[in-house]
A and B are shown apart, each in its own frame.
Chain A
Amino acid sequence: MIAPPLLLQALRYPEQLGSLGLADWDILIRQARKANLLASLHARLQECGLRKTLPAQPREHLDWAHALAERHRLAVHQEVTLIQQALAATGVPVILLKGAAYVMAQLPNARGRLFSDIDILVPKERLDEVEAALMLHGWAASHHDAYDQRYYRTWMHELPPMQHIRRMTVIDVHHAIVPETAAVHPDPAKLRAAACPITGQVSLLTLAPADMVLHSAVHLLHDGELENGLRDLVDLDALLRHFGDEPAFWLRLTERAEALDLTRPLFYALRYTSMMLHTSIPPDTLAQAARLGQPGNAMLALMDALFLRALLPEHASCRDMLSGISRKMLYVRANWLRMPPLLLARHLFHKACISPKSAD
């Protein structure tokens, strides 16, 4: 493999960027923009006090990204407030997932993180109530095709995405963190029981720290669309650094992985954060995660070859001959993990031959 891309070096040791030349900055800014990490890089450079000392041109690009991220942060706060108001009458506890959770709980990886949808988790038996309340407040189902409706409602772990008719914002209402049809079954009741209220917020919760890490891991490693793969890996890195200050966290993490049937994703998550971003993880935890979740040697070699390529920024400067095929194979793998083979064949057949084509 080629030398690690500048972006990885920058995320590992941002404090070393003070000596970078302009030509390297040119490449680094482009890699970071492509990976949707430019504003996160701004946040890291701000934290280590380097932003002000940078050459004017790259600093300008980082500031542009920061302006966009600030606007985004405000918009997320506003949107979450509106969702809360829409659901208040139902009394359903709302657990925020992923990006919205990081922003509202003010976790370190929220700084500069851009995302498009708000994800929430509610009990499955209350989905109808939640959907009705959202519809009353202006959110409408976005997938009108009868097959798509059934795909989501029968097999998936979420309702079809709902879009607000005026603000055009999208909410994904989940009742579980993996599809009903997947081979692993992390019990949503356990996740909900351990959820933590967000300080200063009424009726808003996030997953417990260990569960949040495991959800982030399962999302990254079971999702075939890896355009934001590196950003999601950076999430994991930041969450591990943040929660890892509390020594009890690491033991809890492996225990929860077992309880939730997520030992394999945890193993990969710890492996690739430490390999790519040099996240410091206690050796005991690494050993325990390997005991619980390491696949056979051949499979591991294959996954390494695929993930270590596919998680790099999708930029020309980070590409080798196998990058394209690695992404395609992981896409196939993700679908494989989502559904048993026969159902998958049926789904792909329907999508290819029967579903109306979207206008392109």
Chain B
Amino acid sequence: MKVSDLNPAQLQQRLQEAGLRIRTGPFVTRVHTSLAAAAEGIGLLYADYPLAEDEDFADFHIRLALPDGLRRWLRPQVLFLYDGTRTFKPLPVDQAFPMFEWGMNWCVSSHAHSYLIIHAAVLEKHGHAVILPAPPGSGKSTLCAALSQRGWRLLSDELALIRVADGCVIPLPRPISLKNASIDIMRHYAPDAVFSRKVSDTMKGTVAHMQAPADSVARASEWARPGWVIFPRYEAGADTHLTALPKAHAFMRAADNAFNYSLLGERGFASLAGLIEASSCHDFVYSKLDEAIDVFNNLRPAALLP
């Protein structure tokens, strides 16, 4: 059963009563909320996601709720509760859906220590993953969204999961988070894609989410082998430029972008070393999406090179 098999009334009822058990990649999240903005976003952007059975185990239990007291009515706010515990400061209520997305990222990045988790977009082609680690503002999500519309399978827009046990890259396809100018660029670039409403004045500026391609969601259990680690940087007016990066540098920069590298200790080091060893590593500067896509479409996995 998928989210889209529920009509809006059933979806709302599920969210209010038993909780909606959404399966994203290897995780099941049980969501409770009575907020219309959250229900609308979930119905729209999670339509293709499978639902877990009610008697199944859920990894994360979350609730988006209105606070008690004045802030329920006066400039109302929304709370993110992780199994009953407040984990973030409240946000204005129209940010309920972005908060849901950020909260879902937090659930994974602060618990799932069987993976080395890198703050990165991840896509796949021919079984090989390209990992794009980058701090916010480097154009990672825009590039990721564009690639996902041009033949690359989206594995994740935010969290690269490297399974510690075997070094495989595990998909966690979820909506792609776009900010400010990127939103209209992507609407224009992918007119058929589904977008959430724009929400302005968030801590990241104006944000909107773009639905993950249905094929990515359907193939969420197909892991990939490491292929490339590429550090993207958008620079207005710059020429498209892919340069090889020494592996030691790539290692340090990927470690800087990892959530639990030091927590995993020796195993974190071994996982990251394995990833960098198996990948070709590059710096990438771009300003034009079409040229960027061409560069990516000309990448050949190290294993296939003559």
Interface residues of A (CB under 8 A from B): 22-23, 25-26, 30, 33-34, 55, 57-58, 60-61, 63-64, 67-68, 70-71, 74, 315-316
- Chain B 43-86 per-residue mask, 1 if CB under 8 angstroms from chain A, else 0: 00000000000011111010000000000000000000001110
Q: In terms of DSSP, what is the predominant structure of the interface of chain B?
A: loop
Q: For residue A30, which residues in chain B have a CB less than 8 angstroms away from its CB?
A: 61, 83
Which residues of B are found within 8 Å of A315, using beta-carbon distances? Answer: 83-84
Residues A67 and B113 in contact, CB atoms below 8 Å apart: yes
The minimal Cβ–Cβ distance linking A270 to chain B, given in whole angstroms, is 32
Q: From B260, which residue of chain A is reached at the shortest CB distance?
A: A67
Tell me the nearest residue of chain B to A74, going by C-beta: B265
Known contacts A67-B263, A70-B265, A71-B265; is-contact A22 B114 (Cβ 8 Å): no
Q: Could you say which of B55, B57, B84, B267 contacts A57, with CB atoms under 8 Å apart?
A: B57
Type the 1/0 row for B90-111, where 1 means its CB is closer than 8 Å to any CB of A.
0000000000000000000001
Instruction: Give chain A residues whose Cβ lies under 8 Å from the Cβ of B113.
Output: 63-64, 67-68
Would you mind naming 18 contact pairs between A and B with Cβ atoms under 8 Å apart? A22-B56, A22-B57, A23-B55, A25-B57, A26-B58, A33-B83, A61-B59, A63-B113, A63-B114, A64-B112, A67-B114, A67-B263, A67-B267, A68-B113, A68-B263, A71-B262, A71-B263, A316-B84
Tell me the interface secondary structure of chain A in the complex. helix
Q: Contact residues of B with A, CB < 8 Å?
A: 55-59, 61, 83-85, 111-114, 262-265, 267
Contact partner of B264 (CB less than 8 A), chosen from A57, A60, A71, is A71
Q: Which residues of B contact A70 (CB under 8 A)?
A: 265
Given contacts A34-B83, A63-B113, A63-B114, 6 further A-B contacts (CB under 8 A): A34-B84, A55-B57, A64-B111, A64-B112, A68-B263, A71-B264
Q: Which of B57, B112, B265 contacts A26 (CB 8 A)?
A: B57
**Residues of chain B within 8 A of A64, CB atoms compared:** 111-114
Contacts of A61 in B (CB 8 A): 59, 111
Q: Given the complex, which residues of B lie within 8 Å of A34, measured CB to CB?
A: 83-85
Which residues on the A side are within 8 Å of B57 (C-beta)? 22-23, 25-26, 55, 57-58
B83 touches A22 (CB 8 A): no
> How far is it, in angstroms, between the C-alpha of A68 and the C-alpha of B260 when the chains are bound?
10
Residues of B within 8 A of A22 (CB): 55-57
